[in-house]
Structure 1
Amino acid sequence: MRYTKYAIRDTGSRGATLLDTVVGTALMLIVFLGIAAAFQLSLDVVTNNKARAGAIALGNERMEYLRSLSYTQIGVEGGIPAGIVPQEETVSWNGIEYTRRTSVLYADDPGDGLGELDENSIITDYKTIRVEVSWTARQGERSVVLVGRASPNGVEVAVAGGILAITVVNAAAEPVFDAQVDIINTEVSPAINIRTYTNSNGAVTYIGAPAASNYQITVSRAGYSTDQTYPVTAENPNPTPRHLTVADNETTSQTFAIDLVSTKTVETYKALEPSTWEDTFANDTKIAVFNGTEISGGRVRFAGNPPFPPTASVQSIAIAPSQVSRWKTLSWNDVEPSDTEIFYQLYTSDGATLIPDAVLPNNSTGFSTSSVDISTIPAGTYPGLRIGAILKTKNPGAPTPSIDDWTIEYEGPSPFPNLSFSMQGLKTIGNNPTVYKYDEVHSSGAGASLTLQNVEWDTYTLSVPTTTNYALSESCDDPQPETLDPASSQTTQLYVVPYDPSTLLVDVRASGSNALLTGASVRLYKTGYDETLSTSSCGQIFFEGLEEATYSIEVSKTGYQTYGSADVTVFDGALLSVVLISL
C-alpha cells in the first residue's frame, strides 16, 4: 500500500477571540453613539434656529407696531408711560409657545446732562423700548431681546411727575439681579400695574411716574423671600416702609432686601422626665468586665468557692441614654458578711477612667453606703457612665459578699407632642406699636416636631406661652434668640418644664468665639439657698423652685476667669447670659 504525504502550510490566520469581539463591538458602539449624538445635536440646532427665528419675528412685529404709533401713544398697559400694548402675553408661532414681554421707559440722554445737570432740566428726552421673547427649549429657557428708541418729533417736552427708583439687595447688601418688582397704584388714571425685573445693579427706575401716593411695591424672586411696602391699617398705623409717594420733580427711592429662603425645624421635649437604668443580674448582658467575679443566683459574687482572693471587681456596660439632662443618684442593694466589704465607683463611658474627685467627691476611694448623690456630674461633659464595684474580704474562707442589684437614676427629655410655641422675628414692619414681620404661634404636632419651609433670614425668638402651663428650660443648639442665615437649615430643640415664674435660665459662653461652654460650674446662692449645677451639652442650666428675690451667682470653668455678680433678680422666668474670659 502506498501513502501520499501532503504538506499543510501554516498561514498564521486564526479565528476571532472573545477579546477581539468585545473590542470590535465597543468600537462600533462608540462610532454609532457618536453618529447618534451628532444627529441629535443637528436636530437641536435646527429646532433652536427655528424657534429663535420665530422669536425674532415676534419681537420685530411688536417693535414695528410700537414705532408706528405716535410718540405719546408709545407705552404699555398699566405702565409708566401708559399705552395700549400688553406688558406680557403668550403667543403661539409655528407650534411653539412664546412669552413676549414689552417695556417702555422714559430715558435721560447723557448728551445734554443727566438728572439735575441736564441743560434744559428735561430728563424725559426719549423713550426706550425693550421687547423680550422667551421660549422653552430642551436645554432650558431661551430668549431674544430687542431694544429700540423712540424720540419725540421736534424738541423734547417735559413730562409731569417724578422719579421712582427701586433698589433690591440681598442679606449682604449686594445687588440682586432679575428680582421681580411689582408696582401698583390704582389711585391714578390710568391705573398703574407694572411687573418688571431688576438689572445687574439690582435697580429699577421709572422717570415720569405720576405724582401720587400709595405706590404699592412688592419685590420677590423664585426661591427668595419677599419684601414690600405696607398700607396704613388699624393694626399697623405706622407701617415701615409704607406705600410710597411720588412728588413732581422729586426722586422717591426705596431699597428692599430679599435673599434665599431657609428651613427651620422645631422639636419639643419635656426636659426633666425621670428615668432609671437598673441591673438585677438575671444574666450578664449588662456586665462588661468580670475580674474574679461571677453572676450566680441573680447576684454578683466572688467566682468559685473559698478560699477567695482578697479583692475582685466587676464593671457594668456603658450607661449612655440617647439624651440625658441630669444625673441624679447611684444606689444598690448588697450583702456584706463579716470581714467583707464592697466599694462602688463611677467611670467614664469607656470604663478606663474614674470620674475625678473634683467632679464627684470621694469617688476614687469608693462609696459603701447607698444611695449616692451624683448630680454634680455634668451630663454635658459625661453623657455616659459605668458602675464599678470592688469586692473585698479579710478572711479567704468567709462567705462571699454579693450585690443584688444596682441602679442609676437620671433625668432626660422625652418628646412632647402638640406643644404650642410662638416664633417671632426681629424684623419689623411697623412702629408705635411695634409690628413684627414674622410673629406666629405654631404647634409641634403629633410627632413633637414641626418643619417650616421658605423661612426668611432673620433673628428669631422661640418661646412657650404661659397658657400651656409650661416654661422653657433650655434651647439647643443655641439659647434664644437664634439667627437664621439665608439658604440654611436649622434645628432647634425646646425643652420645657411645668411653669413656675420663680426660675432662672443661665447660658454660659466664651468671650471672642461666643461658643457655648459645656460643664461650667454655676453657683446660685443667697441667705437660705445655695446650689451649684453644671451647664449641659447646650451650655445652659436651669434653676427652678426659687423665690422671687435677688441672688448672687458665681460661674467658673477651668481655663477661664471666674464670673461673679450679686445682682441677679429672679422674676417671671428670668434669663441670664454669662460670658467667661479665657485666662
Structure 2
Amino acid sequence: MLKQKKSNPNNKSSNRHFGFTLLEVMIGILILAIVSLSLYELIKFTLNVLWESKTKITATQLANQKIEMARDFDYIDVGTTNGIPTGIIPAAEIITRNGIDYTVTTDIQYVDDPFDGTIGGDPNDILNTDYKKMRVQVSWPYRLTHKPVTLITNIAPIGLESEASGGTLKILVYNANGEPVPQANVSIQNSLVIPNININTLTDNQGYVVLPGSPESTEGYEIIVTKNGYSTDQTHNATPELPTPEKPPASVFENQTTNISFAIDELSNLTVGTVVNTYEDWWNNAWNFRQPVYIYGPASTQYNYTVAINIAYDSDMQNDFDDIRFTDQSGAELNYWRESYTDMAQAIFWVKIMAIPNGITPIFMYYGNAQADTTSNGPSAFLFFDDFETYGVGSIIDGQGIWYTDDGLNSYAVVNENCYSGSHCLKSHDVSSKAAIVNQTYDGNVLLNYRAKLTDKGNQTTSDFNMTVYESPSNGGNWDRMQHRGLISQTNWGQTIKNINDDTGRQININAWQQFKIGYYNNNRLDIWIDDYYLAHNIQTYVNNINYFYIYNDENDRGYYDLIYIRKYSPPEPYVYGFGIEDGRPDGASTYLANIPFIMAGGKIIGYDANEQPVYKYTAVYSTDYNGLIYIENLEWDSYTFTLPEDSSYNIGETVPIQPLNLMPATTSLITLGLNPKSSHAALIIVKDIDENPLANATVNISAPSQGLNEEKTTNESGQVFFDNWAAAETTLQITLIDYEIYLDTFDLYGYHIEQVIMIAP
C-alpha cells in the first residue's frame, strides 16, 4: 500500500509553493477580455446615446428658430423660395453646429380650412387661401436609429384672409386598387414662371397635395410622384419621340382648380425562363410527360438537400401518383419519399437534390407511365429514416435495424395497431425503458421529425415520455429533448433545453398523434415545432453535434412512435418557387435554352408618336442566363407581353401562364417562354373566356384558300396552339368549343403573329 509521506514540521528547509497553472492564467485573461469588451461596448453605446440626445436638442432648437423667424416676417413673405406660396425662406439648407451638419427642409402651403367652406364644396369657398401651414424637418448623420425632428405650425394673416393670385393645383395619388397613397413623394417643378417653382412635398393621409395660390401657367407644372419601394408616375413633356403625351405638364389658370392624378403601387419581381423543344435529354421513354419544378435557393449552395414538393394531380398522372419520378437537369434520377397523397387530388413528396445554388434551379418531374410502381424510399431521401414497416409484428427492436435497447428490458415492440402511417409503428410497454439508435454523427445542421401518441400520462412527478437528442453516446452527454414530464394533471408538452424544463404551452392530446420537429443549425441554434406550431428559437443549445438519440419512457407513461427521420436543415431553406410548362414526350421535351434575348413591354401608354402609334411606359430587352432563366426585380404592376428580336432563331410557341402577364403589386411571379425553331410565317393562337381564363381542348382551324393551306389543332391546357411553316396570306380562323359560340374571323398572317380570342358563352 502506498502511503503519503508526511513532512517534518521541524525541517525548516521544507517549503510550500503556491501559484497558478497556465490554464488558470489563460481563463483569467479570457474572462478579463470579455468583461473589458462588454464594458467598452456599454461605454460606447452610452456615449452615442448622449451624443444623439445633444444633437436632437440642437435640431429642435434649429426647427424652433426657423418657425420663429417665419413668424417675424410679413405674411406675404412667408413662403419658400421656388415654392407655392413663394417667399424668402430657403426650402432646403445645411446649417453647421458644433461640427455637425444639419439638413433643414421647409415646406409651406396654403390651407383651405373647412370652417368657412372649401373650394368646390358646399358651401363653396372662392377664397381658399385661409392661412399657411409650415412644416420644418431637421435631420443629421445619425449614430443611432431614430426619426428626424419635425415641427408643424400654422401661420395666419393679420386680420381677414386676402385673395392670392393664381389658381389651385390639386394632386391625387392612388394605388392599383384606387385607394389613396399617403406620404407619397411629390416633386413639382415649373420653369415657365418667375420665380421658378421647385417643390418636394408629401401627400396627406387622403393621398392629396393641394396648392392654392399656384401661379398661372399653361402646361408648365412638371410633376413626378413616387414612394420608397413603389413605382413612379409623372407628367411628360412633348418631344420628337413623344409628340403627343397622354399626361402633359399640368396647367393652372386664375381662380380655377386643376385636378390631376397619378397611380403608383409597390414594386414586384418576375422570373422569365426560355425553353426549347428537343428529344435529346428525355430521361426515360416509358414516361410520356414531364414538368419543370423550380427550386429557389436563398443562400449559398446546399448539397444533398431534401426539399418538400406539393404536387397537384394532373390527369396524365396515375391516380395514386405512383408514376412520379424526379431528375436533375443532367437527367440523373433523384431519390424521393412520398409522405402522403389523396387519390386524384394532391401529394407531398420529399426529394433529395444534389446541389441547390443561390437563385433558381430547375429539376424535372416525370409522369405518365400507367405501368410504373412507386420507388418511394425514405432511407435514400433522408439522413436517417425509420417507419418500422420492415419489422415483423411483435418484434422486439433490440438489435434490429438501427436500434438497440439501452436498458436491456426489451420494452419496445413493433405493432400493427393505432399506427399513424402504414401498417407498423413502435409501442412502449409498462416498464421503464430506453431505446436508442446506433451511434451516428451529423454536422449539427439537421432537423429531427417524428410522430408520437401518448396513451397514458402517468401519475408520478418523475414520469417521462420523450425523444432525447444526445451529443455523446452516454447518459452523461449533453442533451435536449421534447417531453411529457410531470403529474397526470399536466396538460402541455414540455421541452428541456440545457437541462432547463419549460412548458411549451402546446396541449397533450391523449390517444391522438402529434408531430414534433427539432431543428439544429449554426452549431448553437435550435428551432422547435409541435404540430407545425413554432415554439422556440433558442441560442446556445446544449447539443451541437448530434451523435444519437433516445426514445425514453418510464413505467407510468405509455404510447407510440412512428415516422422518425432526420434531414439537413439550414435556414433560410430552399423551397419550390413554381412549376413550368408540361411537355408531352410525343411532341418533344423542353430543355432550358441559355442566353436568349427577348423584349418585354408593359401595357401602360404614356402617349403617341408621330405616326399615332402608342408609346409604352415600359419596354426593355433582356437575356436569360446560362440556366435559361433571368430574375427581374422592381417591376411596376402592369400587363406585360413578350416578343423576340427580329434576328432571333426562334418563335414563341407558348407561354405559361398565357400572355399578357398581369403582374400585380408586391408579388413575385414566374413566366416560361416555350420556343420553337423560327418559321418565316407562324401564328400563336391564345383562346380565353370572358374572364381571361385559358380554354383547353378548343378546336382551332386556320386556312388560307389562296395558298391551298388548311390545318387544325387543339389548344393545350394553357389555351394555346402554335402553327408554323405557314404562308404570308389572309388567313381564316375558326374556333369551336362545347358550350361556346363558334368564333370566325380573318387576319393577315405575315411573319410572326399572335391572335388572342375571347370565346363567348351563348
TM range (shorter): 0.5 to 0.7
Task: Give the TM-score normalised by structure 2.
Answer: 0.50
1:516 corresponds to 2:711: no
> Following superposition of structure 1 onto structure 2, how do residues 292-311 of structure 1 map, counting pairs within 5 Å?
none
1:450-485 Cα offsets, whole Å, 9 max, x none, are 322211111111112333243211111x22211110
Aligned with 2:152 (options 141, 147, 150): 147
Matched, 1:65 2:65: no
Aligned to 1:17: none
CA distance in 2, matches of 1:568, 1:120: 58
User: In 1, distance between residues paired with 2:113 and 2:62?
Assistant: 28
1:496 corresponds to: 675
Question: In the alignment, residue 193 of structure 2 is paired with which amino acid?
Answer: V
The SS at the match of 2:651 is: strand
Is 1:501–1:571's contact at 8 Å kept on the other side of the alignment? no
Counterpart pick for 2:596 among 419, 423, 432: 419
Letter in structure 2 aligned against 1:184: Q
Q: Secondary structure at the match of 2:239?
A: coil
**After the TM superposition, which residues 269-280 of structure 1 pair with which residues of structure 2 at under 5 Å, given as runs?**
269-270=275-276, 272-275=277-280
Give the equivalent residue in structure 2 for 1:76: 80
| Map 1:320-469 → 2, pairs under 5 A | 321=290, 384-386=367-369, 411-431=588-608, 432-469=612-649
Q: Say whether the 8 Å CA contact 1:76–1:86 is kept in structure 2.
A: yes
Q: Superposed, which structure 2 residues align to 1:276-287 within 5 Å?
A: none
Number of the residue aligned with 1:506 = 685
What is the alpha-carbon distance in structure 2 between the residues aligned to residue 62 and residue 552 of structure 1? 72
Identify the match of residue 125 of structure 1 among 130, 149, 157: 130
Query: Is residue 504–residue 570 contact of structure 1 (8 Å, CA) maintained in 2?
Result: no
Structure 2 CA distance for aligned equivalents of residues 157 and 196 of structure 1: 25
Within-5 A mapping of 1:40-59: 50=54, 52-59=56-63
- Number of residue pairs aligned between Structure 1 and Structure 2: 442
C-alpha distance in structure 2 between counterparts of 1:59 and 1:167, whole Å: 29
Q: Is the 8 A contact 1:317 1:386 kept in 2?
A: yes
What are the Cα deviations for residues 50-71 of structure 1, in whole angstroms up to 9, with x where unaligned? 5553333222111111112222
1:539–1:109 distance in 2 versus 1, CA, 3 Å: closer
Q: 1:62 to 1:385 in 2, by over 3 A?
A: same
Q: Percent identity?
A: 33
1:226 positional shift: 0.5
Deviation at 1:119, TM superposition (A): 9.2
1:239 has 2:416 as partner: no
Which residue does the alignment assign to 2:535?
Answer: none
Residue in structure 1 matching 2:182, options 177, 182, 185: 177
Contact residue 422 and residue 441 of structure 1 kept, 8 A? yes
Q: Distance in 2 between matches of 1:113 and 1:322?
A: 64
Amino acid paired to 2:607 = G
SS of equivalent residue, structure 1 residue 268? strand
Contact 1:320 1:349 in 2 (8 A): no
Q: Does 1:541 align with 2:545?
A: no
The match for 1:107 is: 111
Question: How many angstroms does 1:524 deviate by?
Answer: 3.5
Larger-Rg structure: 1
Deviations 1:224-265 (A, max 9, x none): 100111101111111111011111111111001111111122
Q: Of 732, 739, 752, which residue of structure 2 is paired with 1:561?
A: 739
**Is residue 225 of structure 1 aligned with residue 231 of structure 2?**
yes
Aligned-residue Cα RMSD (Å) equals 4.3
Q: Name the CA distance, whole Å, in 2 between partners of 1:224 and 1:255.
A: 16
For the residues of structure 1 that align with 2:679 and 2:618, how far apart are their CA atoms?
28
Task: Letter of the 1:100 partner, please give it.
Answer: V
Q: Quick check: 1:347–1:388 contact (8 Å CA) kept in 2?
A: no
CA distance in 1, matches of 2:99, 2:629: 49
Match of 1:215 among 221, 245, 248: 221
User: What is the rounded CA distance, in whole Å, between the counterparts of 2:214 and 2:142 in structure 1?
Assistant: 37
Q: For each residue in 1:508-554, what CA deviation from the matched residue of structure 2 results, as whole angstroms up to 9, or x when unmatched?
A: 55676x54356x26464769877665544534232333454655756
Distance in 2 (CA, whole Å) between partners of 1:134 and 1:533 is: 66
2:272 pairs with 1:266: yes
Correspondence for 1:206 among 205, 208, 211: 211
Q: Is the 8 A contact 1:502 1:570 kept in 2?
A: no
Change (3 A) 1:217 1:161: same
Q: 1:85: which partner in 2?
A: 89
Unaligned runs of 5+ in 1: 1-37, 279-285, 287-315, 325-345, 354-381, 390-407
Matched residue SS, 1:164: strand
Deviation track 1:27-76 (CA, whole Å, cap 9, x = no partner) reads: xxxxxxxxxxx999999987776555333322211111111222222211
Partner of 1:571: 749
**Which residue is equivalent to 2:665?**
486
Cross-structure match for 1:20: none
CA distance in 2 between partners of 1:212 and 1:570 (Å)? 48
Alpha-carbon distance between aligned partners in 1 of 2:183 and 2:213, rounded to the nearest angstrom: 23
1:161 alignment partner in structure 2? 166
